Amino acid sequence: MTEEQPGELVIDPSPNELRDPFVRQEMKRATVWFGIGGAIALVVLLIQPLLIIFGGLVVAAMFDGGVRLLGRVLPIGRGWRLAIVVLAAMAFVLGTFYLTGMQIAAQFEQLQTTLIAQANRLTGWASGLGILPGRADIQGLLKEALGSVGKLTSFVGTAIGALTSLFMVLVIGLFVAMEPRLYERGLQWMVPSDMRGEFAITIERMAVTLRRLLAGRLAGMAFEGVLVFVILSLLGVPMALVLGMIAAILAFVPNVGAFTTGVLMTAVGFSAGVHTGFAALATYFVVQTIDGYVIIPMVAKRTVDLPPALTLSAQILAGTLFGVVGLALADPMTAMIKVALERSSEREGEDQLA
């Protein structure tokens, strides 16, 4: 071969060309990983509106459950039944605050003063024994703890932000409850056509699970709040009405809510005397025993059976990442993820049998 003659031409694609099968495979892998990272970053940036939207879905499930329950006794249109449910809920809340508004406001102010006094007494006693550092150091630690919550939950700290978020949750819940099938079809349009049947089954099971879970939570809240109020009133514990309302609200978040209720009841009880404090502590154990061994098992048979360790772990994780809102919505999120995983496992079993 002379110098003037060209050498052998390379026909195969170069390593930097997308025609190379190896490069295309690696590009696909890189695209998947970049997509997952981008999705996680997007969720972190949009966590506040996402939590508000999910809270709206939870409220919609409550309204839808009430509409379905009312439909068993009233053969009228869905819109009328939804209006009855919403008006009944508003009448209950407004009526409660109208009848006991002044009493609740006074007891809440008294509760705040009592808790501060009991906390100062406890920290003073512990500091005297050398268990805790000085009071100034304790206050500094509390400020650091409150300041480390993060930007994700800063909107909950202001009254305007909390009220705005609550209003948006209620509006979203009302709109979804008015026409749930419309939004379900919209979600199906976002899924590939060959996966829409499976997606519809999973969404339906999630909706049923969420309705049952919330029905059980509402029943437990009503039982615990009324029982705490009645027993504390009979024992002469101060601020029984407010403690009953707090117990009912915190019962929506099991484990963490029950512990917080017990601490508040005990602190208020001991502020009125040693005997009253032990009576409040005994009331807490009686209510939690009845709730844990009678109410919850009965409700769990007809609702969602979530293991306590799983719910507590989810609450700790969601509370750390997303604050109070995440803590309140931890159980519904866990239940929906559980349904999705169960359906995925069921489908894999069906594919293996086929």
Angstrom distance (rounded) from CA 133 to CA 258: 28
The residue ranking higher by pLDDT, 156 or 94, is 94
Q: At what angle do helices 180-189 and 196-235 cross, to 10 degrees?
A: 140
Q: Given this model, what pLDDT does residue 186 score?
A: 84
The model's confidence at residue 6, banded by pLDDT at 50, 70 and 90, is: low
How many angstroms separate the CA atoms of 179 and 66, rounded? 15
**Average pLDDT, integer, range 262-270:** 81
- Under the banding of pLDDT at 50, 70 and 90, the label for residue 47 is confident
Q: For residue 217, what pLDDT is reported? A: 81
Give, in degrees to the nearest 5, the angle at Cα 167 between 164 and 169.
110
Judge whether 266 and 252 are in contact, CB under 8 Å. no
Query: With a threshold of 0.75, does the pTM exceed it?
Result: no
**pLDDT number for residue 3:** 55
Nearby residues of 53 by Cβ (< 8 Å), 6 or more positions away: 172
Cα–Cα distance measured from residue 295 to residue 24, given in angstroms and rounded to the nearest whole number: 58
Distance in angstroms (rounded) separating the CA atoms of residues 292 and 298: 10
Other CB atoms within a 10 A radius of the CB of residue 316 amount to 14
pLDDT at 146: 44
Between CA 167 and CA 56 the distance in angstroms is 10
Position of tokens 């605050």?
Answer: 97
DSSP assignment of 6-60 equals --PPP-SPPTTSTTSHHHHHHHHHHHHHHHHHHHHHHHHHTHHHHHHHHHHHHHH
Q: Is the pLDDT of residue 257 over 70?
A: yes
Contact 58, 329 (CB under 8 A): yes
